[in-house]
Amino acid sequence: MQISLKGRTALITGGSKGLGLAMAQAFAAAGAGVAIAARDPATLDAAVAAVREAAPGASVVAVAADVATAAGCEAAFQAAVDGLGRVDILVNNAGAARAGPFQSVSDADWQADFDLKLFAHIRLCRLVLPAMRERRWGRIINVLAISAKAPSANSAPSSVSRAASMALTKAMASEVAADGVLVNALLTGLVDSDQWRRRYPDDAALAAWKAQTGKVIPIGRVGEPEEFANLALFLASDAASYITGTAINVDGGISPVV
């Protein structure tokens, strides 16, 4: 099956590294114009170069924006529209791992996590939906984590905000499906993403972590960003025209909840 996004445009938050960058590269290689949003301006030039290396001649827009704020969401959306003409595909990928014992999580911690992992999704969806519904075509992908379905001890606030966005995914999907807009969530497990590379910046330490961690994953290894991006690419395409309201684990089989 040949997946094509030719003529489509995508806005990907958290798009300068890790899973976001892998998705930006995959989408651009399939023919889409891509807008990548990230908080750190220093990472964006390298990300644009990486996307254009994967897809020579691709239309790529970069915007420094903190989507944990309403102003940042508006800036990311407007940059995508100004640079690409419209947003056909929204990938809510920006996030950070915040987790600890419940008693240690302050009100400020809860608010910061929900601002980034729930309200950013709400605000950006609110911005892109009117035009998607008018055109009767759109794709929204919310990148979550398997803790949304199976939260463990010491996983707050992240597991709770992820579960809330999973509910948002289902509620929105039911509301806009008749307008040709499909809304799904991808739940990541242990994938070689930017958060792990920040924790293990040394190549040898990262390799050791991957080897040890792979022993507890049924498939026998940590996932690669490109594998995650492949499923996102499918969901963003016309090939996934009958799939909406789902929350799909991308985790090598480790989650106890499907």
pLDDT digits (tens, 9 = 90+) for 80-118: 999 999 999 999 999 887 889 999 999 999 999 999 999
pLDDT confidence band for 179 (50 / 70 / 90): very high
Residue 217 per-residue DSSP state: S
Helix orientation angle between 158-176 and 120-135, rounded to the nearest 10 degrees: 20
Q: How many domains does the chain have?
A: 1
**CATH number reported for the structural domain that contains residue 81 in this entry:** 3.40.50.720
pLDDT for residue 85: 98
Q: What domain range includes position 192?
A: 9-249
Distance of CA 113 to the CA centre of its chain: 15
Query: Is residue 4 in some structural domain?
Result: no
pLDDT for residue 30: 98
Query: Is residue 258 in some structural domain?
Result: no
pLDDT for residue 81: 98
Is 0.95 surpassed by the pTM of this model?
yes
DSSP assignments along 113-150, one per residue: HHIIIIIHHHHHHHHHHHHHHHHT-EEEEEEEEGGGTS
- Mean pLDDT computed over every residue of the chain: 96
Distance of CA 206 to the CA centre of its chain: 22
**Bond into 157 cis (ω within 30):** yes
Task: Name the nearest CA neighbour of 90 among 189, 183, 191.
Answer: 183
Dist. CA 34–CA 212, nearest whole Å: 36
pLDDT confidence band for 73 (50 / 70 / 90): very high
Query: Is residue 166 in some structural domain?
Result: yes
pLDDT of 195 over the 90 cut = no
